[in-house]
Structure 1
Amino acid sequence: MQATDHRVVVYYQTTHYNGSATNDVSLLPLINSQPEVLTAHVLLIGAIHVVTEEQGWMRLNDYTPDNPIFDHVWSDAAVLQAAGVAVMVMVGGAAPGSWPRLGGDEANFELYYGHLRDFVGTYNIHGLDLDVEQSMPLSDIIRLIDRLRANFGDDFIISLAPVASALTEGGGNLSGFNYFELEAQRGSSIDFYNGQFYYGRGDASSAADYEDIIDDGFPAEKVLTAENPTFGGVAGWEYFNSLPGGDNAPWEWAAWMADAMESDASVVKREISSTEKLRRAVRKEYKPLRREAKHVYRNYIA
């Protein structure tokens, strides 16, 4: 995908309804229910964990990726790929363990990275979403990004999934490293950021927190979700019960978003007016006051 594309990203972790091994959550309606619209541009299967040899080296949620419980996941993913959907896999998340294994000294990194590399090749993965929710040195994530780019080339998609506040100066951060430093050093190798607006680390009910990210210097076209002429797109967690359709029609959310992205495509390249530039300058000037107001409000409602 091009950096200026408006992406509709669908996270897919719940692969079966109600924990049943036979009640599959199918991905095929993402391309079959709305033939005039490609309802998802990126499918993000989650979550892959890098584990020990005794656990099989790689886990997709609770099982090894080759477990028959995932047969429909990989077959559906192949159909979506043939239709033009980029199929990625999320690595890490809240479960601990993957990032120390993909960090550390060279011997440690080579051991565990080799299994991640083989997984990508085996399942024809188009890219990885690096969701670092444990502290990790900047040098370690740069080493991983460099190796992925070297092994899989420029077409391989690399994204990161920080909490939204990590994309603002002085904001909260679960990853340990500074995302501004990462963008400065390896921005050319990172396709986009899936900012997580939740749990007090970002509020998506308005464009304010997204605007804070842009005001602080992150390029709008690389950050997903919110209101901006060049915004990157929108990502939704997660597919199986997405509103408005819920369990019965989870693909409807992606269809709505895809239609909105297409409708707004003509706006993407318009020049920013002098009025809008002034508005952004005022927002930046009063940003410390807005942050303090948010802090007081959140403490009040808590």
Structure 2
Amino acid sequence: MPPTSPKLLSPHKGPRLIVYAQTFHDPAGNYHSLLPLLTNNTGITHVIVAAIHINEKPEDLTLNDHSPDDKRYDTLWSEVKWLQGSGVKVLGMLGGAAKGSYERLTGSEEKFEAYYQPLKALVQTHGLDGLDLDVEEEVPLSTPTRLIHRLRADFGADFLITMAPVATALIPDPKLEPHQRPPRPRLAEPGTPNPLHPTLPHLSGFSYPELECSPAGQEIAWYNTQFYCGWGDAGTTAWYDTIIAAGNWKPEKIVLGVVTNPGNGAGHVNIESLQRVCSELREKYQIVGKGFGGVMGWEYFNCGECDDDLVHVTGLELDNDTVQAGWVKALGMVLRTQEPEHLHRKKPDLGGITAEEIRQMVGGLPGPSVPWSDEKINGLVTIGFSRQEAVAALNATDGNVDLAAGFLFDHV
């Protein structure tokens, strides 16, 4: 008799298991079905449909390159209903690497309304459970704040609002000398980041600590944090631990974001190592507040399609129908089971971190994998910028050294 699969938690309990879905068809036009996430009992809790773009004409809202109502998406929207009927929450992702969506939501109320109304109609038409705000362009804090408050007013308390910062956006800048570090405001709630302390370089232009400590920040369900492409590392718990300890972020609001395939971005962590990291994080933080926030994978259509992952998932004998479902289920067996095997670790000490300890913690982090050559990075370092700043600028300019240098001189 085959071994009995462990019983999984209900979708609204425990660490989240999230995948983004952006590539819906293969080159021949065949649809990548999401239903194996259900039929293989993977433990999936959330699917994020990507990417919604606000274009120059307000009425030209697109899901990737086509209207959300294009016939090519008929199967997708029908599967969304199946997922939701099984308890899986389905969100849409707004923004991403293609810039412009948030710039168009910036400015006058009249301009905001013109671009917001088609977005609102999309959410209503397809019954999405929430929106993931992936801001990868420089905008003022007022832009996400206004959008968050409007979404809450229009869709109610159960509507999920998430964000997708890179990991460096949540880590206080350790280069500031002690006398330069801003004091923590009296009204800032204990256990939250210092809203006045600048962070390491990132993509969004505004301060995530300031957002988190504002009324709008209380509406954010969690952060799908990108620990890849030079912005962080998911190969150990070090970067995640630093965010929680140095910034006092609540672990239940920080989701570990990974790439599911080496082709999806630099910093891929093989599934065997990722299982170990997730097990350690779940064990460590389940006795702190509400526990580990979970894992998100970018993206679903090709997850697990590399030699190391194929061999490991096959060896687990998970009885999965597809490679993709096997990759997700391998994490589900770690994150979504009712009773973790090991609960013996000492409760981590997340308080009393000094400024110097933060400096040492960030300075001693393992370097993340980056998509740019040492030659490009060192070319920017030699003109006076740190390696982290150089990588951030190259990421922001798609590897163009000249544009990256201009970016650094203008913004750092």
TM-score range, shorter chain: 0.7 to 0.9
SS at match of 1:206: coil
Correspondences of 1:1-302 after superposition (within 5 Å): 5-17=14-26, 19-21=27-29, 23-34=30-41, 39-53=43-57, 56-169=59-172, 170-185=199-214, 186-215=216-245, 216-225=247-256, 227=281, 228-229=284-285, 230-243=291-304, 244=309, 248-263=322-337, 273=346, 276-277=348-349, 285-294=356-365, 302=374
Assess if the C-alpha contact under 8 Å between 1:50 and 1:59 holds in 2: yes
Superposed displacement of residue 180, structure 1: 0.3
Deviation per residue, 1:70-119 (Å, 9 max, x gap): 11111111111111110101100010110111121111101101111011
Assess if the C-alpha contact under 8 Å between 1:11 and 1:44 holds in 2: yes
Deviation per residue, 1:103-139 (Å, 9 max, x gap): 2111110110111101100010000000000011111
SS at match of 1:203: coil
SS at match of 2:107: coil
Percent sequence identity over matched residues? 39
- Find the aligned partners of 1:70 and 1:53 in 2 and give their Cα distance: 21
- Aligned pairs, number: 292
- Find the aligned partners of 2:363 and 2:355 in 1 and give their Cα distance: 14
Larger Rg: 2
- Find the aligned partners of 1:32 and 1:3 in 2 and give their Cα distance: 19
Deviation per residue, 1:167-197 (Å, 9 max, x gap): 1112122001100000000232000000001
Give TM-score scaled by structure 2 length: 0.65
Give the residue type in structure 2 aligned to 1:20.
A
Give TM-score scaled by structure 1 length: 0.87
Kindly tell me: are residues 295 and 256 of structure 1, through their superposed partners in 2, closer, same or farther at Cα, counting changes over 3 Å? closer
Assess if the C-alpha contact under 8 Å between 2:238 and 2:365 holds in 1: no
SS at match of 2:213: helix
Give the residue type in structure 1 aligned to 2:360.
L
Q: Which runs of 5+ in 2 are unaligned?
A: 1-9, 173-198, 257-277, 286-290, 314-320, 375-412
Kindly tell me: are residues 205 and 298 of structure 1, through their superposed partners in 2, closer, same or farther at Cα, counting changes over 3 Å? closer
Deviation per residue, 1:247-268 (Å, 9 max, x gap): 9421122212222123375699
Assess if the C-alpha contact under 8 Å between 1:223 and 1:232 holds in 2: yes
Kindly tell me: are residues 252 and 238 of structure 1, through their superposed partners in 2, closer, same or farther at Cα, counting changes over 3 Å? same
SS at match of 1:236: strand
Kindly tell me: are residues 221 and 3 of structure 1, through their superposed partners in 2, closer, same or farther at Cα, counting changes over 3 Å? farther
Superposed displacement of residue 287, structure 1: 3.0
- Find the aligned partners of 1:290 and 1:110 in 2 and give their Cα distance: 44
Assess if the C-alpha contact under 8 Å between 1:102 and 1:112 holds in 2: yes
- Find the aligned partners of 1:75 and 1:209 in 2 and give their Cα distance: 38
Superposed CA RMSD: 2.9
Assess if the C-alpha contact under 8 Å between 1:3 and 1:222 holds in 2: no
- Find the aligned partners of 2:252 and 2:134 in 1 and give their Cα distance: 19
